[in-house]
Copies of this chain bind each other. A is one copy, B any other.
Amino acid sequence: MPLLPNIPRLLDELAHLATISAHPAPAVTRVLFSEEDLTARAWLLTLAENAGLRTRSDSIGNLFITLPGSDPSLPAVATGSHTDAIPNAGAYDGVVGVLGGLEALRSIAESGETPRRSIELIMFTAEEPTRFGIGCLGSRMMAGTITADEARQLRDPNGISLEQLRPPQYSGDLAATRLTPGSYSHFIELHIEQGPHLEAAGIDIGLVEKIAAPAAFRLTFTGTGGHAGAVLMPGRHDAFLAAAETALAVETAALESGSPDTVGTTGVIEVKPGAINSIPCHALMEIDFRDTDLAARDAALIRIRQSAETICERRGVQLDWFLINSDPPALCSQEILAVAETHTTDLSYTSTRLISRAYHDSLFMARLCPTAMIFIPCLNGWSHRPDEFSSPQAIAKGTTLLAHTLLTLAAS
């Protein structure tokens, strides 16, 4: 029986969620546990309850929306993504997987068919690293790659801890968020590609075989400040110049890694005192480095560290190197990919296999159960910017494929 997601309803909901933002349209900003994040969460739960779905949350704020199966004793099939958004981002990253996932559940419920396994939509807490510098916080805690004790050490840039920020509705024991492998039978995430390949090739669906291995690290440079007019150049230990040189070394290491997929990005730079007439005495940089090739990535990281140490020694600047995270790549489930591919053919969609270079909650769900991802095209491959865009047709196809794939997996 064909499932018929209500696409106008879904598009209306996508448009509404984009208005819950700390920055004016078209920008979307929803930072973990901000007023906007909490408003979006409450609105999502209301949508789910209005659709007759069950809702619950865990102590890190992951939300679970369940369509009960005929045999609820079996591990559920799950889908999900995130609704948080970095500053000045767009309306599709993460959100398509959450609202598309909700629409998939509703379309199954409205079809009258009862799946054997329960089907669960997960809205993961803080896929974006904006607040604590670490991405995929919710799925990491579910998979146990960050412990409750480690989570309690997290501080945002203002020094506020996760414990201080956690709202009362998520007040339980953090350790209880951890799940055991096998808690779900399958996990499949719908997401915009965040890359240009599907759009350029005119292909409807990307089936993700492998998720790249990301690492993130924070470098702090401590030099010597002073008045910009008074300290002559040879006597300087400028923390920002050491950082600037290191950022260029990150780029060089990515370009020369030998792997075409290596990407290195210095997305955060902050200097103190931050006055035009003062030599920076302190600089902080946060760097994201990824590859599908773990060996190439780790060799490049060693090279970056050596470069940073050489630069800092030459400049008389102290370097502090903090690894935020370093995750191995994930291989996707061939079983799920095969089911999705069959439905793609049935639905007359075109598809291709892809590699994901972006971080996803799927990377951590893959530690708990067989996992895969469905990508849909997005304009110019853009994401994390206000003009991020996926067409209604692309969203409709992704959501329809997700619904069919979930229903088939739930029958297994």
Contacts and interface: CB of A to CB of B under 8 A. Distances in A.
A260 B265 CA distance: 36
Contact of A276 (B232, B262, B286, B358): B286
A216 interface: yes
Contact of A232 (B229, B247, B263): B263
A255 interface: yes
Given A86-B273, A276-B288, A385-B225, A357 B230 contact: yes
A4 to B, nearest CB: 31
Interface string A70-99: 000000000000000011110001000000
Nearest to A212: B229
Given A290-B229, A384-B226, A279 B262 contact: no
Give the number of times this chain occurs in the complex, counting copies: 2
A336 B275 CA distance: 33
A255 B234 CA distance: 8
A37 to B, nearest CB: 15
A130 B216 contact: no
Contact of A227 (B266, B286, B383): B383
A229 B278 contact: no
Interface string A258-275: 001111111111011111
Interface residues of A, number: 72
Contacts of A240: 247, 266-267, 269
Given A244-B248, A269-B240, A275 B130 contact: yes
Contact of A251 (B87, B233, B254, B272): B233
A135 interface: yes
Given A229-B212, A230-B357, A381-B226, A86 B277 contact: yes
Given A241-B251, A251-B233, A275 B226 contact: no
B216 A357 contact: no
A263 B273 CA distance: 18
Given A240-B247, A274-B87, A276-B129, A281 B233 contact: no
Contacts of A216: 276-277
Contacts of A357: 229-230
Given A229-B288, A230-B357, A277-B358, 10 more contacts: A87-B273, A93-B227, A128-B275, A195-B230, A212-B229, A227-B383, A228-B290, A228-B384, A231-B263, A277-B384
Interface of A: 86-89, 93, 128-130, 133, 135, 193-195, 212, 214, 216, 225-234, 238, 240-241, 243-245, 247-248, 251, 254-255, 260-269, 271-281, 286-288, 290, 324, 356-359, 381-385
22 contacts: A88-B273, A128-B275, A129-B276, A195-B227, A195-B230, A216-B276, A225-B382, A225-B385, A231-B381, A233-B251, A233-B254, A233-B262, A234-B255, A241-B247, A241-B248, A241-B266, A243-B244, A244-B266, A267-B278, A268-B275, A277-B358, A279-B384
